[in-house]
């Protein structure tokens, strides 16, 4: 695997909130001149959603799926002082520091299972990825997929890895399968699960997982009242993903049976 090299940029302009997202992400401009969708550390699920987003996005990229470039984004405290909307003002205030940005795909459209096209191998890879990371939020109601330049792009993995919302019981999740895959928006089109499985097995291993987890910013792993410290959390993410990888055949059979 190529070494992950995540750029860090600074937010220079807050342009507009994206109100269709529950966590109120925003389109912002950075000091590299590009536009990004900024996911805020001060939003509802906090830094844990950023970690899920980051791990899911980089795993998706590793297996050959299209993912907008992920960057770390510094937000300073000047933006909250000039924002008239109180809700956004609070969000900006609580998000000072390092956040996560996704390169903004201008004129992309939300994937619609009734009209959008996707090839079976891509659909199968997304289904297996979401089984591995326990992503509960890729349904027909909320696809979290985009069509851009006639290709499928994977965005928004923030609702995955939900074991980390309760560290006291995280080990209970190590041997669980993912029955909710039955609701996956791409499951009907995932007719190449065995081919996708074979490709993913060649690419994803412990080294890839460790490399991704090593790139999680330290302060995303530090929060008051958490049961584990930052090093223990990194080890837990690695253990969880390795456990899922070791049962990937079972997860794929579960998806096949659901389909």
pLDDT in tens, 150-162: 999 999 999 999 9
For range 134-163, the mean pLDDT: 95
Say if 218 falls within a structural domain.
yes
Q: Provide the pLDDT for residue 2.
A: 62
pTM beyond 0.85, yes or no: yes
Domain of 181 in residue numbering reads as 110-258
Neighbours of 185 (CB within 10 A): 23
Query: Cα–Cα–Cα angle for 199, 177, 258, nearest 5°?
Result: 75
- Judge whether 62 and 203 are in contact, CB under 8 Å: yes
**pLDDT at residue 44 in the model:** 85
Per-residue pLDDT tens digits for 172-190: 999 999 999 999 999 999 9
Taking 3-state DSSP, the helix, strand and coil percentages for the chain, each rounded to the nearest 5, stand at 45, 20, 40
**64 three-class SS:** coil
pLDDT at 21: 59
CB 49 within 8 A of CB 23: yes
Question: What is the arithmetic mean of pLDDT over 121-141?
Answer: 97
Of the candidates 37, 41, 39, 32, which has an alpha carbon nearest to the alpha carbon of residue 7? 32
Domain annotation covers residue 2: no
Does residue 188 lie in a domain region? yes
Please check whether residues 61 and 120 belong to one and the same domain: no
Q: Are residues 235 and 114 in the same domain?
A: yes
DSSP letter at 174? T
Residue 177 falls inside a structural domain:
yes
28/91 same-domain check: yes
DSSP 4-40: P---EEEEEEEEEE-TTSTT--EEEEETTS-EEEEEP
Indicate if the pLDDT at residue 1 is higher than 70. Answer: no
Q: What is the pLDDT of residue 30?
A: 98
Q: Are residues 240 and 115 in the same domain?
A: yes
pLDDT of residue 22: 64
* pLDDT of 80: 86
Answer whether residue 215 shows pLDDT above 80. yes
Rounded-to-10 torsion of CA 46, 51, 56, 62: 150
For residue 224, what pLDDT is reported? 66
Does residue 147 sit in the same domain as residue 37? no
Where among 77, 103, 129 does a domain terminate? 103
Q: Is the same domain home to 147 and 194? A: yes
Q: Is residue 3 part of a domain?
A: no
Q: What is the pLDDT of residue 143?
A: 95
pLDDT of residue 219: 93
Over residues 227-256, the mean pLDDT reads 97
pLDDT tens digits, 62-119:
999 999 999 999 999 998 888 888 889 999 999 999 999 999 999 999 999 999 999 9
User: What's residue 24's pLDDT?
Assistant: 86
d(C-alpha 230, C-alpha 221), whole Å: 5
């Amino acid at each position: 695997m190529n070494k992950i090299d995540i750029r860090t940029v600074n937010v220079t302009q807050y342009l507009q909130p994206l109100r269709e997202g529950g966590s109120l992400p925003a389109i912002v401009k950075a000091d590299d001149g590009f536009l990004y969708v900024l996911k805020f550390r001060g939003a509802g699920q906090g830094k844990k959603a950023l970690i899920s987003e980051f791990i899911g996005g980089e795993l998706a990229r590793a297996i050959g799926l299209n993912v907008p470039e992920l960057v770390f984004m510094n937000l300073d405290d000047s933006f909250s002082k000039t924002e008239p909307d109180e809700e956004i003002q609070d969000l900006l205030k609580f998000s000072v520091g390092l956040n996560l940005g996704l390169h903004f795909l201008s004129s992309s459209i939300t994937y619609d299972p009734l009209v959008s096209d996707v090839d079976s191998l891509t659909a199968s890879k997304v289904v297996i990825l979401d089984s591995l990371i326990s992503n509960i939020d890729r349904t027909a109601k909320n696809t979290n997929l985009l069509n851009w330049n006639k290709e499928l792009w994977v965005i928004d993995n923030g609702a995955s890895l939900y074991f980390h919302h309760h560290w006291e019981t995280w080990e209970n999740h190590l041997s669980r399968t993912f029955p909710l895959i039955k609701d996956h928006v791409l499951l009907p089109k995932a007719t190449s699960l065995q081919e996708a499985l074979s490709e993913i097995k060649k690419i994803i291993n412990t080294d890839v997982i460790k490399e991704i987890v090593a790139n999680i910013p330290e302060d995303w792993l530090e929060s008051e009242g958490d049961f584990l410290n930052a090093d223990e959390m990194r080890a837990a993410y690695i253990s969880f993903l390795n456990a899922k990888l070791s049962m990937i055949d079972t997860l794929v059979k579960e998806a096949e049976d659901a389909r």
